[in-house]
Amino acid sequence: MCFSPSISLGTALFEFLTAAFVLMKMRRRPEKYFIALFLTLLGAYQLTEYSFCASGNKPFWAIGGFLVYTFLPPLGLHFITKSARIKVNPILWYLPAIGFSILALTASPFFYDGSCNRVFVFIRHIFFPWPELTSSSGAYWFYYLSYVFLAALLLVIFAIKDKEKDKRYLYWQLLSPTILAIVPALILFGLAPSLRMVFPSMYCLFAAVYAVFVLWLVHKESKRKAF
């Protein structure tokens, strides 16, 4: 799991508390709900990893973790487009995640096997069947990575072109943890293909930087009284 059982639980608690802190401090900013929900999902995923290793029901927690991290990319795009006032039906962002979730819930079996070590959780299921590469896993990787890259691209565009200074600043600040969370994970499993099935666990480790960046952003912005 991420780090170790105790640190995994501590990181989840840290992200939950950060989400609550955002809701209290960003009172005048509608973005607070998306940021808090994103942090809550990150924490929830870490709890599913802990439960996967600590409980006897591995298939249940494997699918629970899958559902959580599958909805992170569309939530990010929903937040970005809504913040930039782009008129897009938000349900469109969630359709692939809903489709993959239905497939996961109806697959028999969804979960193949998994194991826990000191750093990561290794989980094999229909979308991470390593070492095999299937059409299902290819479609899922295309969905996930294309959403992440699109989110990063939109953050760059809006950070440059948005007319509101505060929003441009927010976009740049959100871009930094996005890059720091996803790029190291991609580099690691690019260098070691066997790590591809631990990508969610690896991403969880690096994604803890979101909570740190959000705390720093809220603290800095509170001094400017922008919230």
**Can you give the residue ranges of every domain in the chain?**
5-224
If you average pLDDT over every residue of the chain, what do you get? 80
Q: What token pair was written down for 13?
A: 């608690």
- Among 99-113, 177-191, 192-206, the range scoring the smallest mean pLDDT is 192-206
Q: Say if residues 165 and 188 touch (Cβ distance below 8 Å).
A: no
> Going along the chain, which residue ranges are E strands?
111-116, 121-125
Of 41, 28, 43, 33, give the one whose Cα is nearest residue 82.
33
107 vs 176, higher pLDDT: 107
Please report the DSSP string for 143-183 in residue order.
Answer: HHHHHHHHHHHHHHHHHHH-S-HHHHHHHHHHHHHHHHHHH
15 vs 208, higher pLDDT: 15
- Give the CATH superfamily of 5-224: Rhodopsin 7-helix transmembrane proteins (1.20.1070.10)
Q: Which amino acid makes up residue 93?
A: W
- Give me the pLDDT at residue 1, please: 47
pLDDT reading at 63 higher than 80: yes
In angstroms, the Cα distances linking 85 to 79, 82, 88, 90 are 10, 5, 9, 12
